Amino acid sequence: MLESDNTIEVLGARVHNLKNIDISIPREKLVVITGLSGSGKSSLAFDTIYAEGQRRYVETFSAYARQFLGGLERPDVDKIDGLSPVIAIEQKTTSKSPRSTVGTITEIYDFLRLLYARGADAFSYNTGEKMVSYSDEQIKDLISEDFKDKRINILAPVIRARKGHYAELFQQIAKQGFLKVRINGDVKDITPGMKLDRYKTHDIEIVIDRIVADSSLESEKRLMESINTAMYHGENVLMVLEQDSKDVRYFSRNLMCPSTGISYQNPEPNLFSFNSPKGACYHCNGLGTVNEINVKKIIPNPKMSIKQGGFAPLGEYKSTWIFKQLEIIGEKYGFKLTDPIEKISPEAMDTILNGGKDKFAVESKVLGITKEYKIEFEGISHFIKNQFDESGSSTIKRWAKEFMDEVKCPVCEGSRLKKEALYFKINNENIHELSSMDISDLTVWFNDLEQHLSDKQKRIATEVIKEIKDRLAFLMNVGLDYLSLSRSSKSLSGGEAQRIRLATQIGSQLVGVLYILDEPSIGLHQRDNEKLIRSLEQLRDIGNSVIVVEHDKDMIERADYVIDIGPKAGKYGGEIISKGTPSEILKEHTLTASYLNGEREIEVPKQRREGNGKSMKLTGATGNNLKNVSIELPLGKMICVTGVSGSGKSTLINETLYPILNA
């Protein structure tokens, strides 16, 4: 055994198929546990070492706290000494939440939000002009200079393009001592009982003061008082209207468009968060997608009749209220429930799907008395949408979703954010545009950013930009340069999620930790595998222990120490058959060694399958990064699709071809 001060000592491990094994694992080294599938590698690494580390961690909590965490069973092992705090990085998708993205997992998006809140320039979403903000003293000086010796009205905007009669508002304004208001561009006296057309949109401003903007002390004092009053009533925005003119100037303590007067609140990080009500798009609630009815899913076969079950949500005809209503609609539009749906007129179909304000007469016979009453038909599409939006039952929501498609939000166009947040820009890019870039392109953008920043922006942003660049570099080093920060975490493969967690751990710069990884090389091209190994070596070099369950030849050869478990799988495995440095392992007469040193190899067949002579064509695939790809696949053969990580292999086969074949 190795010296105990520098090792993790595992004595008498019997978890699953492990046969009472003893092993010394060197600390602060890159250690690979290898062997046949099912030989006991994960039983040692995860179910013994990691499980014991977790159990000891939970035992540090109070008894009160442990009751909420649940008990962790002690693994079947006699003793483990020299165990550091343990972090496992497994092959599993990080999160199923639609709100979780690569940017939020790695915390890069949090730094981006901070960068935009403190260092971005704001632009008007109406005119594209750069937004401005002033102090009260600056506003006074600008008014005195631009309107020198002119009679002006100081206005406080209180209503912007909203419907209502506003009788109560006018009463409140009058009680505060104001005599005039400007309504839709016209200055009017406030009169008792004054109100507007409630069904039209209105703009209303309070006339705070009418003043000549000269340079006298009295005039300047009065102007400053009027500015303060207007800012109070106008929520930090005021307007200046020259006498006998329709043109107004806007001034604001907040960010403001100089031409139209639209105003933004001063930016905070949560304005750029799609997980905050202050930043999330109001239409999709920050998801970037909405669910819309797909009529083809409601009517999969228009040749069928309503009675045959042509409307999938309704099924075949039953003596129920919904079919009674459809019969009544049919009487009005001249169709029967036995007619093919494709023969029903467009007007009738619109009523069936979307409902309408038309009322239909229904007769009801109770105790021999027939009564007629009118009903409105809600529409099948509206009913399904309402069930999805309003039902508290997950079962009903799943049922409704069967007839809907997830589409890009038409309001935010998939950005997840409010319109205002997208008009804060750094070097002509908003936060969504940065999040949509590949990590490789984003790295180039940040490396080039400093020369485009003002001195003020450099002072504010230097430390934040450094953090972002460091974390981007970690993602590049684990071969994830093709991902974007906006990529949903639920769409990541297990290997991608594992490497993201690895990059996050490298970025955390923890020291003295034991990391355990589960086959991180799975799915990696050879080019990216080299980057992964360098990242694990970097994790080791800063003072951590790294244990990797792995079969990859390059990983084994680069390890500091190798543990080979076998000799076979299941009950025939669970033993340490060799251990030592890679060069020592190569000298052993084991199955692993024979493949590593070339004594054994997977033979390349001399003759390939002939196939059945048929082929399958896929034309014009454009999913994700595919550039109008067309392929012809021979049938009756084993086909391999390869390429560097992120090149589009899974998009082509799993996300394009498979759904077509499975439809």
* Residues 643-646: contacts with CB under 8 Å, at least 24 apart: 643/525, 644/525, 644/527, 644/528, 645/479, 645/480, 645/482, 645/523, 645/524, 645/525, 645/528, 646/480, 646/481, 646/482, 646/483
Check whether residue 143 and residue 254 sit in a common domain: yes
Indicate whether 360 pLDDT > 80.
no
User: Does residue 36 sit within a domain?
Assistant: yes
Taking Cα atoms as reference points, which of 631, 617, 625, 619 lies closest to residue 645?
A: 625
Domain count, the chain: 5
Check whether residue 277 and residue 301 sit in a common domain: no
Indicate whether 1 pLDDT > 60.
no
- Tokens 């990859």, located at residue: 552
Q: Which residues constitute the domain of residue 307?
A: 292-405
Q: Which of 492, 522, 556 is the last residue of a domain?
A: 492
Check whether residue 592 and residue 642 sit in a common domain: no
Check whether residue 84 and residue 113 sit in a common domain: no
The pLDDT value given to residue 663? 66
Indicate whether 315 pLDDT > 70.
yes
What is the per-residue burial (b if ≥16 Cβ within 10 Å, else e) of 565-600? Answer: bbbebeeebbbbbbbeebeebbebebbbbeebeeee
Provide the CATH number for the domain around residue 565. 3.40.50.300
Check whether residue 147 and residue 249 sit in a common domain: yes
Check whether residue 431 and residue 284 sit in a common domain: yes
Task: Report the chain's mean pLDDT, rounded to a whole number.
Answer: 90
Check whether residue 312 and residue 259 sit in a common domain: no
The pLDDT value given to residue 261? 79
User: Which tops the pLDDT comparison, 498 or 438?
Assistant: 438
Check whether residue 394 and residue 488 sit in a common domain: no
User: Does residue 375 sit within a domain?
Assistant: yes
455-484: per-residue pLDDT in tens? Answer: 989 999 999 999 999 999 989 888 888 899
Write the CA distances from 31 to 17, 150, 550, integer angstroms. 21, 82, 10
Helix (H, G, I), strand (E, B) or coil at 517: strand
508-548: per-residue pLDDT in tens? Answer: 889 999 999 998 888 777 777 888 898 899 899 999 999 99
The pLDDT value given to residue 540? 94
User: Does residue 605 sit within a domain?
Assistant: no
Check whether residue 574 and residue 634 sit in a common domain: no
pTM of the model as a whole = 0.77
Q: Which of 358, 384, 405 is the last residue of a domain?
A: 405
Check whether residue 380 and residue 424 sit in a common domain: no
Check whether residue 299 and residue 387 sit in a common domain: yes
Mean pLDDT, to the nearest integer, of 198-202? 91
Provide the CATH number for the domain around residue 225. 3.30.190.20
The pLDDT value given to residue 391? 85
